[in-house]
Amino acid sequence: MPLRSTEWFGRDDEVALLHRAALRTAQPAWRPGQPIIGIADSSSDLNGCNLPVRELLPAVSEGIRNAGGSPLVFPVMSLGEDLMKPTAMLYRNLVAIELEESVRAYPLDALVITAGCDKTVAAGLIAAATVPVPVLFMLSGSRPAAEFRARPLATGTDLWRALDERRTGAMSDADWRRLEDCLACTRGTCNSMGTAATLALVAECLGVLLPGTAGAEACSDVSAAAAYATGQRIVGMVREAQVPARSITQAAVDNALRVVASVGGSTNAVIHLAAVAGRLGLDFDLTGSADRILRSVPLTVDVEPAGSALAQDVARHGGLPAIAAGLGGVFDGEVVAADGRPWADVTAQAPALAGPVRGLGRPVKPAPTMAVVRGSLAPHGALVKVSAASPDLLTHSGPAFVIDGYAQMRALTDDPDLDLPADVVLVIRGCGPVGAGMPEWGMAPVPLCLARRGVSDVLRVTDGRMSGTSYGTVVLHVAPEAAVGGPLGLVRDGDRISLDVPRGLLDLDVAGPELARRRARWTEPPAPDIRGWPAMHRQHVLQAPQGCDLDFLTAPTAQHRRFVAPIIGRS
Ligand code: FES
């Protein structure tokens, strides 16, 4: 197959001459016919999760050169969960666009996407589903665990636990400060099965990350070897024309959902998978097929926050090849892995099940680990991470206490004088994709008045998200969201809300005529004072069941789906 870059470099005219000269300023050794491999560099001082990528870039480039390709590194906006506000999710689609347009506009024959922190992987997966060139990920790796109170620190998850203790006065000032030092002392992605670790497994399932590399510890020899192998393999993928559309199939997406469920993974992965599937026109029916798949798989991997090990422990015990082997026939072995082998061949060589990787024969918890609910409060569905919830709250009915937005959440949940019953249902709204860019405000702290009485979990219902490292009984991604007129916006303090996860129901127990009266009086929240990208995002973003993609980029708008090459002429 002719190289795409030949369009830029192959002719004998002034345009191609200028192109060749421009390329040689960065790659003096480039020869005609060598595939040009773009390496999207997401390392940034603003994003400690992706910093290890910097040290891996030379290994990727070397692998590419040794396999006969020509590496070109270019920067890409880095989406760091910790420092980026209001939420990195607001910028996921922007980076997906940036990657797509970088491929479209430049003479790239393939793309290595360096990523790590959640949304850098999510944006890359969405871009991969869109571009017509081979794509491989090279990930920064799981953050080495610091020691905190004599046990390895699970980043994210242990911060939430510490916060629970801190709020009730159970954690000393010294421990609180030491926690900060521990969190700052290593680099890489969250090492519990948060969104980053979950999406790494998803990337493997979709054939855009080398098998067995998800979860490798950052700054390790394993991670460096994976970087070199990635460089080598991407050149082979150019020769084989192994583009993502060939590996991101319906079966691959379904495998990814099974793996998300089997590790008690991040609920965010479901949103990102919906967006990926949407780009390719694959089936992703949240309340139908996706729910059935999610509900069918038990927790087969004992990893935080649903279990006890860390992501790198899972990697050391075989990673996805072992997890997939443990799922047996449930995992479709005909799907193609990034190294070109069918997954059946990969799993055949996986190490025996050991440590945190248990398999279907000895699950950690029964199915479901994640489930979709729907009903009068969420007509288009919502998601519950069952594996990290309190079993007694999965079937629950209680009075609503409504919280509008982040400022109210901080003020009300920390108000010691608030008087709430233990069966309260917190409704945290105004956090959806249109309302706020869909931040991770969903895991609101248990109100202080209850925490001080020993209540450790309450049912929360939100149109926002929560971190993959979070836990608790939280119904997330309620659709439609309050800001676009969803029923969540009609809830008032004291209304009864009923959740029945086994039956897949989430209902607002308010009589129809009363709801109709409230709906007639409902008015759209005033538009925020925003411009630029946030304003564009608000205008075009879809709801969670559609992956929060932009309406003009997802598959049903077919005219936008086709990847149109640019005119190769004078600029
Ligand atoms: Fe970046 Fe968790 S905050 S991976």
Q: Ligand 1 mean position to 347 CA, how many Å?
A: 29
| Residue 564 confidence (pLDDT) | 80
pLDDT over 60 (residue 559): no
d(CA 157, CA 305): 6
Amino acid at 178: R
Residues with CB under 6 A from ligand 1: 49, 81-82, 117-118, 156, 189-190, 194, 196
Which residues is 112 bridged to in the sheet?
Answer: 39, 136
Q: Are strands 70-75 and 36-41 parallel, antiparallel or unpaired?
A: parallel
Q: Ligand 1 mean position to 531 CA, how many Å?
A: 27
| Integer CA distances (angstroms), 462 to 400, 459, 477, 559, in order | 12, 10, 6, 34
Q: Ligand 1 mean position to 239 CA, how many Å?
A: 34
d(CA 189, CA 77): 17
Mean pLDDT of 228-247: 97
Nearest atom, ligand 1, residue 47 CA = 1
Q: Ligand 1 mean position to 545 CA, how many Å?
A: 23
Closest alpha carbon to 400 in 502, 518, 513: 518
Nearest atom, ligand 1, residue 80 CA = 1
To test ligand 1's pocket by mutation, which of 49, 201, 272, 465 has the most ligand atoms within 8 angstroms of CB?
A: 49
Nearest atom, ligand 1, residue 50 CA = 1
By three-state DSSP, how is residue 81 classified? coil
Nearest atom, ligand 1, residue 196 CA = 4
Mean predicted lDDT score pLDDT of the chain = 95
Q: What is the pLDDT of residues 430-442, one digit of tens each?
A: 999 999 999 999 9
Per-residue confidence at 97, pLDDT binned at 50, 70, 90?
A: very high
Q: Ligand 1 mean position to 195 CA, how many Å?
A: 8
DSSP strands (E only) in 407-535: 425-429, 459-462, 474-476, 496-500, 505-508
Distance of CA 310 to the CA centre of its chain: 17
Output the residue whose Cα is nearest ligand 1's atom 3: 81
| Residue 560 confidence (pLDDT) | 53
pLDDT over 60 (residue 129): yes
Nearest atom, ligand 1, residue 467 CA = 2
Output the residue whose Cα is nearest ligand 1's atom 1: 117
To test ligand 1's pocket by mutation, which of 157, 190, 466 has the most ligand atoms within 8 angstroms of CB?
A: 190
Q: What is the pLDDT of residues 301-326, one digit of tens each?
A: 999 999 999 999 999 999 999 999 99
Nearest atom, ligand 1, residue 81 CA = 3
Q: What is the 3-state secondary structure (H, E, C) of 333-345?
A: CCCECCCCCEHHH
To test ligand 1's pocket by mutation, which of 79, 89, 117 has the most ligand atoms within 8 angstroms of CB?
A: 117
Q: What is the pLDDT of residues 262-287, one digit of tens each?
A: 999 999 999 999 999 999 999 999 99
Element housing 139 (H / E): strand 135-139
Closest alpha carbon to 113 in 75, 65, 58, 62: 75
Q: What is the pLDDT of residues 39-86, one digit of tens each?
A: 999 999 999 999 999 999 999 999 999 999 999 999 999 999 999 999
Per-residue confidence at 563, pLDDT binned at 50, 70, 90?
A: confident
d(CA 201, CA 338): 12
To test ligand 1's pocket by mutation, which of 189, 266, 272 has the most ligand atoms within 8 angstroms of CB?
A: 189
pLDDT over 50 (residue 558): no
Mean pLDDT of 396-421: 95
Nearest atom, ligand 1, residue 48 CA = 1
**What b/e sequence results for 306-324 when a residue is b if at least 16 CB atoms lie within 10 Å of its CB, and e otherwise?**
bbebbbbbbbbbbbbbbbb
Mean pLDDT of 367-372: 98
Q: Ligand 1 mean position to 325 CA, how many Å?
A: 28
| Residue 557 confidence (pLDDT) | 58
Q: Ligand 1 mean position to 210 CA, how many Å?
A: 21
Q: Are strands 36-41 and 110-115 parallel, antiparallel or unpaired?
A: parallel
Q: What is the pLDDT of residues 163-215, one digit of tens each?
A: 989 998 999 999 999 999 998 889 999 999 999 999 999 999 999 999 999 99
Nearest atom, ligand 1, residue 118 CA = 4
Reply yes or no: is the peptide bond before residue 298 cis, omega within 30 of 0. Answer: no
d(CA 320, CA 346): 10
Tokens standing for residue 566: 């640019």
pLDDT over 50 (residue 124): yes
pLDDT over 80 (residue 34): yes
| Residue 432 confidence (pLDDT) | 98
d(CA 129, CA 243): 9
d(CA 69, CA 74): 16
d(CA 571, CA 568): 8
Q: What is the 3-state secondary structure (H, E, C) of 12-64?
A: CCHHHHHHHHHHHHHCCCCCCCCCEEEEEECCECCEHHHCHHHHHHHHHHHHH
Q: Do 113 and 159 meet the contact criterion of CB atoms below 8 Å apart?
A: no
